[in-house]
């Protein structure tokens, strides 16, 4: 599995190879013919490394989705990842402390943990990462999401606006 991915994508179980090809093709279409897309070992989850800014990728993919929705046959969600660390509470906390500076003084946030192949509890992760953030929590309609994606021994971390996750089925016209 890629150790320095900056995109995660979900697909239906059993369609990881097709979704990987689809993602690789679309990354090439928007300007990165050197991207790497691999299965993660988790059913329905693929990881990608692109030279492009992952947030720009989401916007460009969204444009393709609205113009040519048929291009997305296998990919269900695409998530930008800003930092990848070992699945260790202190490393996750350090990464999130750094990224939490993107949460404005008057903005609200929520911590979302998606974990696969780990015994670390979501509660422990949330307590570790939220402890040093002074902004208010809003679980229903936050300004920012502190996203923690645990995949076994690696954890991807991002601070994103809710619309920076591309949910293909919701957005297809």
Q: The CATH number of the domain where 91 resides is what?
A: 3.30.2130.30
Q: Measured between alpha carbons, how far is 70 from 78 in angstroms, rounded to an integer?
A: 16
SS3 4: coil
User: Residue 90 sits in which domain range?
Assistant: 84-160
Same-domain check for residues 56 and 124: no
Q: Residues 66, 133: one domain?
A: no
DSSP 52: S
Measured CA to CA, the distance from residue 76 to residue 74 in angstroms comes to 6
Report phi then psi at 144, rounded to 5. Answer: -130, 150
- Taking the CA atoms of the chain, what radius of gyration do you get in angstroms? 16
Tell me the mean pLDDT in the region 117-123: 94
Q: Is residue 49 part of a domain?
A: yes
Q: What is the mean pLDDT of the chain?
A: 96
Please tell me whether residues 104 and 141 are part of one structural domain. Answer: yes
Read off the pLDDT band of 1 (50, 70, 90).
Answer: confident
> What mean pLDDT is predicted for residues 134-157?
97
Residues 94, 128: one domain? Answer: yes
Same domain, 55 and 95: no
pLDDT digits (tens, 9 = 90+) for 32-82: 999 999 999 999 999 999 999 999 999 999 999 999 999 999 999 999 999
Q: How many CB atoms lie within 10 A of CB 3?
A: 10
Does residue 173 surpass a pLDDT of 70?
no
Which residues on adjacent β-strands are paired with residue 25? none
What pLDDT, on the 0 to 100 scale, is given for residue 172?
82
* Residue 25 domain flag: yes
pLDDT on residue 117: 94
Instruction: Judge if 73 and 110 occupy the same domain.
Output: no
Evaluated on CA atoms 82, 45, 108, 131, the torsion sign reads negative
Task: Express as a percent the part of the chain with pLDDT over 90.
Answer: 97
CATH value at residue 75? 3.30.70
**Residue closest to 115 by CA, chosen among 151, 83, 146, 79:** 151
1 found inside a domain: no
Q: How far is CA 39 from the centre of its chain?
A: 15
3-state helix, strand, coil in the chain (%, to 5): 35, 30, 35
pLDDT at residue 126 is higher than 80: yes
With a cut of 90, say whether residue 132 has pLDDT above it. Answer: no
Considering the entire predicted model, what is its pTM?
A: 0.94
Q: For 18, what's the count of Cα atoms within 13 Å in the CB-facing half-sphere?
A: 12
**60 and 115 co-located in one domain:** no
| Statement to judge: residues 11 and 78 lie in one domain | yes
Report the pLDDT averaged over residues 19-26: 98
Q: State pLDDT tens for residues 87-116.
A: 999 999 999 999 999 999 999 999 999 999
Beta bridge partners of 145: 110, 160
Count of domains for the chain: 2
């Amino acid at each position: 599995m890629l150790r320095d991915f900056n995109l995660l994508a979900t697909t239906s179980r059993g369609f990881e190879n097709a979704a990987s090809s689809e993602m690789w093709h679309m990354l090439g279409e928007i300007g990165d013919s050197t991207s790497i897309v691999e299965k993660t070992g988790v059913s329905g989850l693929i990881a990608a490394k692109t030279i492009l800014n992952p947030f720009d990728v989401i916007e460009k993919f969204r444009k393709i989705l609205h113009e040519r929705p048929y291009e997305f046959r296998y990919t269900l969600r695409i998530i930008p990842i800003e930092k990848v660390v070992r699945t260790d509470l202190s490393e996750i906390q350090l990464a999130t402390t750094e990224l939490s500076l993107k949460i404005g003084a008057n903005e609200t946030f929520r911590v979302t943990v998606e974990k696969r192949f780990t015994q670390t509890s979501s509660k422990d992760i949330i307590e570790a990462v939220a402890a040093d953030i002074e902004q208010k929590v809003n679980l229903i309609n936050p300004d920012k999401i502190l996203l923690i994606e645990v995949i076994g021994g690696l954890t991807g971390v991002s601070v994103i606006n809710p619309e920076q996750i591309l949910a293909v089925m919701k957005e297809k016209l």
